[in-house]
Structure 1
Amino acid sequence: MNGAPDSNDGPVLTVVVPVYNEEQALPLAREELNKLLQGFGRTYEVLVTDNGSTDGTEKIMQDITRQDPQWKYVRLSRNFGYQNSITAGMTLARGQAIVVIDVDLQDPPEMIADFLKHWDEGYEIVYGVRSRRTGEPAWRIAITMWAMRAIRWLSDHPMPAHSGDFRLISRRVRDAFIQLPESNRYVRGMIHWLGFKQLGIPYVRRGRQFGQEGRLVGGTGFIAGLVSVMANAVFGFSLKPLRLFSAFGALVLLFTLALVPVQIVLLMFGKHAPPGFMTLLFLLLLNLSVISLSAGLLGEYLGRTYAEVKRRPLWLVDYTLNLAENQKPTVTPPGQAQPPV
């Protein structure tokens, strides 16, 4: 009923790899992941979710799936965004443990061994914490770090600092995750919100070897993509922006009330406040800007509520390769994955 396959006969591990126009990175990723996963001595599958790539990614994955049955391919009908792409992969995964990793391998795949070790110890969510980033421009790192701190400060629910989407979750966590139907998704926040036994492991994030450094998965420009991530995180997990405006309004009201006795005292002594047209104009414009900003903020929350009410599917599948019959998408409740078109 929740769209997840009956995975009792599935592998121990599923590695979900979201891609968009990654024809350069895929061959190396396949080589490194196969070498690593085969050394674990556990059954596994690699599930690639393609956000409607327009380069040679589709052809490469068709060749890979013909040669290697452990590699699965899910091509979405269009670009539904990175967050929905990894949601699709986790939903269709059959593994008892599910790892999400980007195809560019900036997150070191060898850490999957550490994830599995802690999973064996009873942790149900094991995530990477970026202690340092290399191979990226300093300005980009600084902006990203500031954005992550801002998200953490604004969130109503505690968020680990500097964590990303590189993580392992148990099947039980996956089953709980796919019950969350919201359209505007911040997956790492949703996973941490679920609770369960969690552990963060620090690591050094490497620079991207292929593709464009300044772009996020899904073809979104870096700045625009970061703003989108922040918006989903803040508006999806926090009422602090509204509370901050309420607090600001209360302070302005107190300041205004404090001016009343001052004006009365001035009148009692026959004095008048000095005329100031520019001061009055400035205050009026400031008031207008604050009202406009607060109205826009409220509109953002209302707009997202409207998007949730529509309950459109998070993603649609064009076709799949190498998926088991019980793994293929089925009809599910609104707001979750839908059958192939």
Structure 2
Amino acid sequence: MISIVAPVFNEETVIQTFYDQLCAVIDEIDSRFEIIFVDDGSRDSSPALLNRLKQQDARVAVIALSRNFGKEIALTAGLDHSHGDAVIVIDTDLQDPPQLITQLIAEWRNGYDVVYAQRVTRAGESWFKKITAHHFYRLIQRLSHIRIPADTGDFRLLSRRAVEALGRLRERHRFMKGLFAWIGYPQKAVQYDRLPRRAGQSKWNYWRLWNFALEGITSFSTAPLRIATYFGLAVALLAFIYGAFIIYDTLVHGNPVPGYPSLMVVVLFLGGIQLIGIGIIGEYLGRLYDEAKQRPLYLVKSYQPSADCSAKAATTSSITDSHSPTSG
């Protein structure tokens, strides 16, 4: 069986179209499927549409989280509840074409544990977003000791052992693209042209993308701390040299004490550097604080499994009951 995990947050305008295109693809593949929709606290009619799909198609499973936890957590919830021998992660906005699923499965059957879809082009996105995304992936590759594939989103296939490995990583600040790379195992890229969003609006504005970039860098690199250390040492060295020059100049030529503007510039510069360093330390300290609280990653409001999983659970329960000491 193959599981398909699709996080949903206020996607009422595209859910039905996504489902129709997805079914047109998987109906041609000789495998059993379960389609897991994870409702990440939607406030539109998405929950009603998902429940309707659940009633129409026994392959559909619906996980409703207690509130909006964010896409990375919603993906984790879907992976935790998947039962397939392979799991495919895909967004519902149809920027990632379901038609690529056939190729992902083919490469998995060739022995790859992770088959990720790598973007060649990004249609429907602004030039600024394309440029920042391009440089972000190159930057994080330089800063991290883990090779995170460039121009790659969450659209990918994971083998069962890859999913179980991810299930052992329960950190609160989850940069899934980094976690997918961290587990290792044989991985292969499948290139494709990313399509424009079919309907609705992206939930990723530039502020959220900026915070997401910080999440990725601080989750998989301590380079900012190291840079702050080196920069502090360089500034301290320059301050020492400048101080020696001031002493020499005073002893040799005297000092009429003009220099108030230059003094303020130096003080403000050093103060700014200190605040930046404290801010970087604070980012890492805040993550340690969140990890120390040991809260669950998410809470499930309701879970409606697919028919295959319900039947499997019933069979397992029946076998357990027939072998229990109190059974007749």
Distance 2:256 2:193 in 1: 61
Would you say 1:293 and 2:276 are equivalent positions? Answer: yes
Structure 1 residue 18: Cα displacement: 0.5
User: 1:122 matched to which residue of 2?
Assistant: 111
**Aligned residue in 1 for 2:144:** 155
CA distance in 1, matches of 2:313, 2:84: 11
Shift of residue 52, structure 1, vs aligned partner: 1.4
* Helix, strand or coil at the partner of 2:51: helix
Give distance in 2, aligned partners of 1:264 and 1:239. Answer: 38
Identity, % of aligned pairs?
Answer: 32
**Is the CA contact (8 Å cut-off) linking 1:156 and 1:240 kept in structure 2?**
no
Shift in Å, 1:274: 7.0
1:165 aligns with 2:151: no
Structure 1's consecutive aligned runs of 4 or more residues displaced over 4 angstroms after TM superposition are 271-274, 325-328
Separation of aligned partners in 2, 1:150 and 1:291? 24
How far does the alpha carbon of each residue in 1:92-144 deviate from its partner, in whole angstroms, 9 at most, with x for none?
Answer: 11111111000011011111111111111111011111121012222232233
**Structure 2 residue aligned with 1:312:** 295
Normalised by the length of structure 1, the TM-score is 0.86
Letter in 2 for 1:240: A
The CA distance in 2 between the partners of 1:90 and 1:96, in whole Å, is: 12
When residues 158 and 64 of structure 1 are mapped into structure 2, their CA distance, relative to the original with a 3 A threshold, is same
1:92 and 1:327 in contact (8 A); partners too:
no
Q: Distance in 1 between matches of 2:55 and 2:253?
A: 93
- Higher RCO, Cα 8 Å, sep 6+: 1
Tell me the CA shift for residue 224 of structure 1: 2.3
Q: Please say if 1:226 is aligned against 2:209.
A: yes
Structure 1 residues 173 and 142 mapped into 2: Cα distance closer, same or farther (>3 Å)?
A: same
Deviations along 1:234-284, one digit per CA (max 9) or x if unpaired, are 111110111001010111122223335534543564354873110110110
Residue 62 of structure 1 and its aligned partner are, at CA, apart by: 1.1
Q: Which moved more, 1:164-173 or 1:129-138?
A: 129-138
Residues 72, 322 of structure 1: 8 Å contact kept:
yes
Indicate the structure with greater helix content.
2
Asked if structure 2 preserves the Cα contact closer than 8 Å seen for 1:94 and 1:327, the reply is: no
- Written as runs of structure 1 = structure 2, the 5 A alignment for 1:176-255 is 176-213=165-202, 215-216=203-204, 222-255=205-238
Matched residues in 2 for 1:260 and 1:229: separation?
Answer: 41
Could you tell me whether the CA contact under 8 Å between 1:77 and 1:316 is conserved in 2? yes
* Partner AA of 1:286 in structure 2: F
For the pair 1:56 / 2:45, whether they are aligned, the reply is yes
Task: Calculate the TM-score normalised by the size of structure 2.
Answer: 0.90
Task: Report what 1:333 is aligned to.
Answer: none
Unaligned runs of 5+ in 1: 1-10, 217-221, 329-341
**Structure 1 Cα separation of the partners of residues 12 and 290 of structure 2:** 33
Matched AA of 1:55: D
Which residue does the alignment assign to 1:37? 26
**What amino acid sits opposite 1:293 in the alignment?**
I
| Whole-angstrom distance in 1 between the partners of 2:274 and 2:313 | 51
**Aligned equivalents of 1:260, 1:320: Cα separation in 2:** 67
Whichever residue aligns with residue 238 of structure 2, its letter is: F
User: Residues 265 and 286 (structure 1 numbering): CA distance in 2 closer, same or farther, change over 3 Å?
Assistant: closer
Residues 27-71 of structure 1 deviation map (CA, whole Å, 9 limit, x = unaligned): 111111111001111111111000011111111111111110011
Structure-2 separation of matches of 1:236 and 1:271: 53
Aligned to 1:90: 79
Q: Is the 8 A contact 2:12 2:49 kept in 1?
A: yes
**SS, match of residue 61 in structure 2:** strand
* SS of match in other structure, 1:80: coil
1:167-197 deviation per Cα after TM superposition (whole angstroms, max 9, x unaligned): 1111101101011111010011011011111
CA distance in 1, matches of 2:91, 2:19: 12
Which residue is equivalent to 1:303?
286
Which runs of 5 or more structure 2 residues have no equivalent in the other structure? Answer: 315-328
Counterpart amino acid of residue 246 in structure 1? T
1:81, distance to aligned residue in structure 2 (A): 0.4
The separation in 2 between residues aligned to 1:306 and 1:127, in whole angstroms, is 33
The secondary structure found in structure 1 opposite 2:253 is coil
Q: Write the distance in 1 (CA, Å) between the matches of 2:15 and 2:44.
A: 12
Letter aligned with residue 187 of structure 2: Q
Give the counterpart letter for 2:133 in structure 1. Answer: T
**Cα RMSD over matched residues?**
1.9
Contact 1:33-1:109 at 8 Å conserved across structures: yes
Q: Does residue 112 of structure 1 match 2:101? A: yes
- Contact kept? 1:51, 1:81, Cα under 8 Å: yes
